[in-house]
Structure 1
């Protein structure tokens, strides 16, 4: 207080700006010593009344008013700083999770004789709750996984990591899709928080017989496009989301793909796109695929995404993931 009192007297007496510089240093030192704004005001009042004990009553009342104001400000400022620190911690966690997720999502589409694949996955925010993966086994068959993780941040990214490495270890075992989901369900149920669960569609394309075998864990139904009939039919299989309960039963189905046929897998961010306040009709997704079906598979998914991005004014409301598997010959 004595230091502040000397600086105050120096400035009032001399109007020397060097005193203002020293006051600036005083404020910085006070900040480092965790002195609150209302304590600074109190120091000022005590210093000024010591120098000028006969200050008018209205001046003293104004100081009391200022002091109460700064006390309230100090409390609000501390709350703001605490909130800001939490936000910075959350931002840091999200950045770490997003980087981890990016490395996990860096899945390449393998070249498989006789089929072509198109895939696109775009997050609505920094983190992507959707996941997809392609794996080619030693016999040239292709497994396709598409999932929607109900949860965000680092736990979701770690769940993706767990799923990825579990699939890597399972895909060469020639297991049925239902068996793959059964194993994954036990892994998720035992290792993931009960507040988070995962929907998944797992497909296996047998290149020798041109059959697409698939199972679903509560995931958005896919579609099969028949070039012969020029029609779409829904493909689905019974099964609950991963992580809800164990054991669980998953149904396996299969369909043969003829030349030009397509298996279409997606997340609900595709079928639940919005145009204004209204959800689109699922048929609109199929209509756009129909419109672009003459293009290569990768161009089809990109064109479909661009269309729905545009009708949503380039503001996705949910993660958008779309995969096409088409038999070429």
Structure 2
């Protein structure tokens, strides 16, 4: 510590031992700012405090003087730990800033517009559990067709976001909404297989709705089976379609099926953030999810998806544990 600092500190300490006023304490607080600016360590401050006190009080008891030696040793370790802690906090702040930036880039890159289609009501909600979304939903549309891709990366953070960019690239390479679902999955699978690490697993569902025939054609790459609600029969059924996860092998044969929608029918496409919600009692059963959806079947598709999200959020005590994506196609 520079001699000037030692002199200043001794004067402040001496005045405080004589008067012990608020003004003396204020001077000490101001002096501490200078110590911080000069990056003077805690043990150095204690050392100068000890030397100053011994000059101010010549007959200072030896045991009191020795106690400062112990405090100096304690502060050496404390100072090192404090610096390490501050460094880690700074790194965390930098990582957080980078994640926020990456999340903004991801939102811009993967942004999709819900199309307006005659005779079809569409609702969509996608809520990430953290900054980066491991779910992906994307629409393709033309005058008479609308396609919907819903994908889920088994993983989180930057790697998941990079996987999503590969899927987006695959979707952008398609000719349009009339492409058969099995062709869509085949194209995306080949891109993912070449570009994504073997440690990443991606499920994906693709469906295409034709307004002229009210027909929904679909295929799946290991994704959660959507739910089909028949207004006539007042019941749900799963839309099953076999298919391997994306990126495992380059050549995969996917199944393609079709179903005709009648007025009031709707299809619920989701990720496992919907089907694997957990309350304190355990997993929320699919039957409960169906009941929640059915309770708002007369509402608009967008109102339905938002209600389902908030209801499941409530059942989980507002502790979302996974990315949540839900899309509803409703025949008007």
What do the CA deviations read for 1:20-56 (whole angstroms, capped 9, x no partner)?
A: 7776566444434443222332343345556767642
Matched residue, 1:285? 289
- How much is the aligned-residue C-alpha RMSD, in angstroms? 2.8
C-alpha separation in 1, matches of 2:129 and 2:14: 62
Q: Say if 1:121 and 1:321, in contact at 8 Å, map to a contact too.
A: yes
1:255 maps to 2:250: no
TM-score, with length taken from structure 2: 0.85
What do the CA deviations read for 1:84-106 (whole angstroms, capped 9, x no partner)?
A: 01210121122112222333454
Matched residue, 2:127? 122
Matched residue, 2:172? 168
C-alpha separation in 1, matches of 2:8 and 2:81: 29
Matched residue, 1:7? 8
C-alpha separation in 2, matches of 1:120 and 1:323: 7
Matched residue, 2:246? 242
What do the CA deviations read for 1:270-317 (whole angstroms, capped 9, x no partner)?
A: 111223231111112222222222222222222222322222223322
What do the CA deviations read for 1:173-202 (whole angstroms, capped 9, x no partner)?
A: 844322322222232233334443322111
Task: Call closer, same or farther: CA 1:173–1:230 in 2, change over 3 Å.
Answer: closer
Structure 1 residue 81, shift from structure 2 partner: 0.8
Q: Say if 2:140 and 2:177, in contact at 8 Å, map to a contact too.
A: no
The runs of 5 or more residues in structure 2 that have no matched partner are none
Matched residue, 2:216? 212
- 3-state DSSP class of the match of 2:65? helix
C-alpha separation in 2, matches of 1:287 and 1:134: 27
Task: Call closer, same or farther: CA 1:257–1:326 in 2, change over 3 Å.
Answer: farther
C-alpha separation in 1, matches of 2:55 and 2:102: 57
Q: Say if 1:238 and 1:251, in contact at 8 Å, map to a contact too.
A: yes
Q: Say if 2:146 and 2:177, in contact at 8 Å, map to a contact too.
A: no
- 3-state DSSP class of the match of 1:128? coil
C-alpha separation in 2, matches of 1:277 and 1:83: 37
What do the CA deviations read for 1:72-92 (whole angstroms, capped 9, x no partner)?
A: 211220221122012101211
Q: Say if 2:129 and 2:324, in contact at 8 Å, map to a contact too.
A: yes
C-alpha separation in 2, matches of 1:242 and 1:71: 55
Task: Call closer, same or farther: CA 1:117–1:9 in 2, change over 3 Å.
Answer: closer
Task: Call closer, same or farther: CA 1:314–1:283 in 2, change over 3 Å.
Answer: same
C-alpha separation in 1, matches of 2:175 and 2:220: 16
Kindly report which structure 2 residues correspond to 1:6-155, keeping only aligned pairs within 5 A, or say none.
6-15=7-16, 27-49=32-54, 55-104=60-109, 106-137=111-142, 139-155=143-159
Task: Call closer, same or farther: CA 1:194–1:82 in 2, change over 3 Å.
Answer: farther
C-alpha separation in 1, matches of 2:9 and 2:298: 82
Q: Say if 1:204 and 1:214, in contact at 8 Å, map to a contact too.
A: yes
C-alpha separation in 1, matches of 2:201 and 2:121: 31
Q: Say if 2:137 and 2:150, in contact at 8 Å, map to a contact too.
A: yes
TM-score, with length taken from structure 1: 0.86
Equivalenced residue count is 326
Matched residue, 2:326? 322
C-alpha separation in 1, matches of 2:250 and 2:88: 42
- 3-state DSSP class of the match of 2:84? helix
Matched residue, 2:275? 271
The runs of 5 or more residues in structure 1 that have no matched partner are none
